[in-house]
Amino acid sequence: MQSTGIVRKLDSLGRITLPMELRKSFDIGEREPLEIFTEEDKIIIKKYNPSDIFTGQCEDLIEYRGKKVSRDSIRELARIAGYKLTEE
């Protein structure tokens, strides 16, 4: 992990501001979704990249009931369930 030397205080609502330099470096646009992770005593902020809930694949996704699933996973699940698919 690399220190940026930047220190920010939380405001009264618990928010912080990401400095413009970091937003430019990571190509983070206004209102772009960010994902928050924790690891031991660390808080990690990462650009949100939707991915398949089964494989983590990021291409060819379909949303089903608020979850992202790739067409490959759908085909595999259909095969496992004994269905034969015809491609459109």
Per-residue pLDDT tens over the stretch 8-27: 999 999 999 999 999 999 99
Do 34 and 73 lie in one domain? The reply is no
Do 57 and 40 lie in one domain? The reply is no
CA 52 to CA 63: how far, in whole Å?
A: 9
In this prediction, residue 88 carries a pLDDT of 63
Do 56 and 42 lie in one domain? The reply is no
CA 46 to CA 35: how far, in whole Å?
A: 5
pTM here is 0.58
42, containing H or E segment: strand 42-47
Do 43 and 56 lie in one domain? The reply is no
How close are the terminal C-alpha atoms of the chain, in Å? 47
In this structure, are residues 47 and 26 in contact, taking their beta carbons and an 8 Å threshold? yes
Do 12 and 30 lie in one domain? The reply is yes
Domain range for residue 55? 50-88
Do 57 and 42 lie in one domain? The reply is no
